[in-house]
Structure 1
Amino acid sequence: MKLSVYILCGFMMFVFTACGTTSASLNINTAPSQQSQQQAQSSQKNQTEAPKPQPQPAGVITFDQGGPLPKGVQPPVDTYLKPGEVFVPGYAPDRFEGNWGIGKIITPASEKTKGEAEAVQFYDNKPIWISANFIITKSRPATAEELHEGMLVLCGKIDEYGRRNYDTWFLGVVKSMEYLYKGEILMERYPHDALPKQFQWKLNLIRIIEEPTLRFKKVGNNYMKLP
């Protein structure tokens, strides 16, 4: 009888010991698994968070002027400008609503000229000294594939008699591509001390501004160009 009791007690101690060991092993195995899962979630969160936009200098506004063409897209052949020709400011050179005409640079800007260049518009052939940042020295025809909302571009108003010296170019911001089916882009411009004005413009009369990057400051309802 005593022997049976001893055997039964020994068997029960073995079972309790085995269960305790199993429980401990489960705790040890699951702890690293939870930690790995938290690290994976943290890593995934860091990968999907979008980078924050870089702040602009106080009071300075720049628009998106585009960049390299999408892969596989070739720029249209530029048959408008001739070698050495640039867009020289005409009316209201320091305002968004100002315009440009075809011309050339006579004296490039330098430290000696305090950042101003001597240029002439072919319309009147009168030399002027003006901030080099107002002269559009590099541009090209736009393609539909690269245009998108918010882009700052040049819009051309071509003389009906084909006199290039009478052509004028002005700024516009792309608002929508919804009229592309008929070869037009919905644009917006900002007249001086007036509400923004929307208009549709032919794609073949739009140019991408490559140089310089135009800088503005907001004054009232207007954008004023910075030299």
Structure 2
Amino acid sequence: MSTGRTGLRERKKQQTYQAVSEAAISMFLERGFDKVSVAEVAAAADISKPTLFRYFPAKEDLVLHRFADHEDEAARVVSGRPDGTTPLQALRRHFLDGLDRHDPVTGLCDDPQVLAFHRLLYGTPSLVARLYAYQRRSEAALAHALDPGAPVAARLAAGQIIAVLRILAEENWRRVDAGESAGRLRADAVAAAGLAFVQLSEGLVMPLPVMPLPE
């Protein structure tokens, strides 16, 4: 099969993913995630229910499709970093750039549509649970990018990094959702990111009680 034909088919597939996901999210925002059935989404997208499940294995994936492109984002940042730049330096710069752009992934975005989407996401327990599956795949991809030859050490590092990025984004979103503007919050978000990456590079800066090891 020619490369051109394969590329066209892949583009059509991505267009279908996008169209079905956008139709579903619109219905979920209007009526609530739990009040819209998969059959209704399939009908609105003019596809069969089995076809929908071939694209989206779970109902939650209809919403989380927006995160699909970000699953390996941290891994791509690390793999594509300039010579002489450490993984943490590259990831810190990437996150700060995202804050400058008010990228929704950083949580620092007060666009009404983005806020509505985040309220749907964080207000639906099954979506939050499914989001963790996406984050585990992010961890696996990042661990491989950090060091394919040291799986345990790389997985520990990747888990900490992905957790930090998640917490930063959730804290930004929490404050924006409470009514703070993204512009006024930016300085605090930058400071929090700076603290987070210092802790990642140097260890926890606050004293923690030492728990005795079990005998």
Question: Which TM-score bucket, shorter chain as reference?
Answer: under 0.3
TM-score, normalised with respect to structure 1: 0.20
The structure carrying a bigger strand percent of its residues is 1
TM-score, normalised with respect to structure 2: 0.21
The structure carrying a bigger helix percent of its residues is 2
**Bigger-Rg structure (1/2):** 1
